[in-house]
Amino acid sequence: MRKSKFVLTAVSAALLAIACGGGTPPGAGNPPGTERPVDPAVLAAQPKASNTPMDEIVTQQLLPTIEHLFDQVRAQGLDTELQGVKVFAPNSGDKFLPGKVAIGFSYLLLNASPSDARYQTYLDGYRAISDMTINVTNETWGIYYYLSALWKLKKAGHLDGENPAVSAATLDKLKTRLDWRTFVNPDYSLINLPTNYYGVAFSVARLRYLLGWEGPEASEALLQKMINHYKTFSAFGFSDETDGSGRFDRYSILLIGEIVQRLIETDMQVSPEDLAALKGWLRQSVDVIKLRLNPAGNGIDYGRSLSAYADTSFAEVLSAAAHMNVLTAEEKDIAYAFATRITAKYTEFWYDAETGSLNMWDKGRRTDGYRGKARILGENLSLSHQLLYTNNLWKLSGHAQKPPVSTRAFIDYLDTLPRTALTRFAGFDGQSATYDRGLVTYRDGLRIISLPVVNGAATYHRTNPYFAIPYSYNMLSGVADTQWPQLQPMFTLADTSTGTPQALIPAAYQKNLRTQESADGKVLRVSYEQDAMDRVTGTGSGGSPFKDKRITSTTTYTFEPGQITREDTYTPDGALSLSKIEMEFGSFSDGVSTSGDKRFSYASGDVYAFEVEGLRDCTVADVRGDANYNTPVGALKTSIRCSTPAQTFSTPLTIKWLLKYHSPGVASLAPH
């Protein structure tokens, strides 16, 4: 990579700060005893640059990665290839790429001045790349990203004069092609898209208005459409990704942050009533994120489209909340410290210096098909964009160029957070027609454990990142786009007369979700019932959950320090002929041994013991080489596979498992 204003430099003072938890080294300024030492395991778990100013990480580590890609695209043009992927190929599958290229590379110009040695190179290169990609497929999100780049460049004066960043001919084509009408009907309803695209459509319309390409009517209407959707399908202030079917995942927490970010970006004014509603919803997302703050910069741990996006989604919400004064002064300092950790984690873990690219797909990592490796260039640029624009908001508040609070202060704040919480998403009205959707949180020291009861709707309900099972970074995980029965049973009926055997799982019909916390807050009991199973294969299963009432169930979880127990009782509606019942526990732990009677211990890893009752046979498999056991942060190592063969199921069956882990397990908060 050529030298430029973004070349990496040694930051010895920052490294000293990191080694001492962000404070001054003992004997070098701080009076003895002013700050308690930090557990070395915590320091090992957090990113190395956790106590470095965010803007320093962005300038010295993040921007050079964008410049490297910029030089590669300039040199290779439409033949650009990253790790074997021809990124601009017509069949690449990345329908957002030109927009992501436009927004990503715009930061080189936006962070340079005409006196910089490479300024003219950036300007000429940007214009050439925009000309080159004008006929490459660019839809929805890509339209928004491109318009956002144009607006930023226009405000900075880079679209004017004799040497603009985008040629007049290309700009004229973009004016026609970058339009919300390509994915929104005349009545402002979306065309076969999830509801988060209301925010995309609004942003596109608003930016077109700011660029002088149309009036304000569409953006105002789409903003109201978006707000009304929240009011209609978000009983507790979190976005349902469907029109009421009940899919609550990463976007349910993130979307309000994106909406507010677009209002900030476009200086959109809303009514006092709408502003109060938006701030209220934003505060609710903040409260979910606060419970998940951790030294390692880890984000959400269940649902689809995770990997680095699990982390950056929290950064987006927190920066919007800080800008809108939804946070207290103390919360702003803590949020900035956490956002800095997210930024540092990206450059140290998600970015692979050996390949010169983000890695969400190799070395044991896996994401869903939606974010497949065909999108490698776009994902590099869109994730960098998220960190860059959130850094700019922190700069406006005076934070980004200052070191975050010390690790000691950050950890002390985490100690003040509630141990347990139930966040309600939908339901909880006691009516059988409405199922309960919520998120249970259990904090064991610095270990955060999530129990989502969220359905999945569409095709996701059958995949294990949406199961109502515990998730915790580097300890308990689902695997994108896979259906193996992680920590919950699958019942396969013996009747094959309909073709594909029918398989039922306890995944979609939870109600009467309740939590009970012990007086000292250390023990949390969670219970719910299901009046039907979810048929995931066989006649009728289709894409959405299919209600099969032949089996009902009750479930009880008990969370306590270092231990999780789940106990289910399954009751058949009459005698059922089963070909098998199966359940797995895929784990990052290794060195499995058994003491018999389905009791297992592990020689290494966070989980050190696992026990099963109610299933007849259990075996151990090494799954390190199987891509179906690659999680967003790395490969699972072992799977304990339990099953019961063919039987007549006519009386209630209890299945129970108990999992023991090292508590608090701080060192393993960092990715393996």
Structural domains of the chain, ranges and CATH numbers in brackets: 12-414 (1.50.10.10), 420-669 (2.70.98)
- Which residues, other chains included, contact 124 with Cβ-Cβ below 8 Å and sequence gap of 6+? none
Cα distances (Å, whole numbers) of residue 146 to 82, 134, 178:
22, 11, 8
In a 3-state reduction of DSSP, which class is residue 638? strand
Mean per-residue pLDDT for 410-432?
Answer: 91
Q: How far is Cα 16 from Cα 18, in angstroms, rounded to an integer?
A: 5
- Which residues, other chains included, contact 168 with Cβ-Cβ below 8 Å and sequence gap of 6+? none
Predicted model pTM: 0.92
Task: Kindly report the backbone phi and psi dihedral angles of residue 379, in degrees, each rounded to the nearest multiple of 5, phi listed first.
Answer: -70, -40
Does the pLDDT of residue 106 top 80, yes or no? yes
The answer to whether 239 and 256 are in contact (CB under 8 A) is yes
Residue 5, pLDDT score: 35
264-316 pLDDT, tens digit per residue, is: 999 999 999 999 999 999 999 999 999 999 999 999 999 988 999 999 999 99
135-154 pLDDT, tens digit per residue, is: 999 999 999 999 999 999 99
**Long-range pairs of 244-247 with CB within 8 A, sequence gap ≥ 24:** 245/455, 245/457, 245/458, 245/544, 246/425, 246/426, 246/427, 246/435, 246/437, 246/454, 246/455, 246/457, 247/454, 247/455, 247/456, 247/457, 247/458, 247/460
Residue 29, pLDDT score: 36
The answer to whether 85 and 92 are in contact (CB under 8 A) is yes
**422 closest CA partner among 439, 434, 435:** 439
438-477 pLDDT, tens digit per residue, is: 999 999 999 999 999 998 888 899 999 999 999 999 999 9
Q: CB 637: neighbour CB atoms within 10 A?
A: 21
Q: How far is Cα 122 from Cα 118, in angstroms, rounded to an integer?
A: 6
Q: How far is Cα 619 from Cα 469, in angstroms, rounded to an integer?
A: 21
**367 closest CA partner among 227, 231, 476, 465:** 465
Sign of CA dihedral 23, 25, 30, 35: positive
Q: CB 185: neighbour CB atoms within 10 A?
A: 9
Cα distances (Å, whole numbers) of residue 304 to 226, 252, 317:
22, 12, 18
In a 3-state reduction of DSSP, which class is residue 193? coil
Q: How far is Cα 138 from Cα 100, in angstroms, rounded to an integer?
A: 9
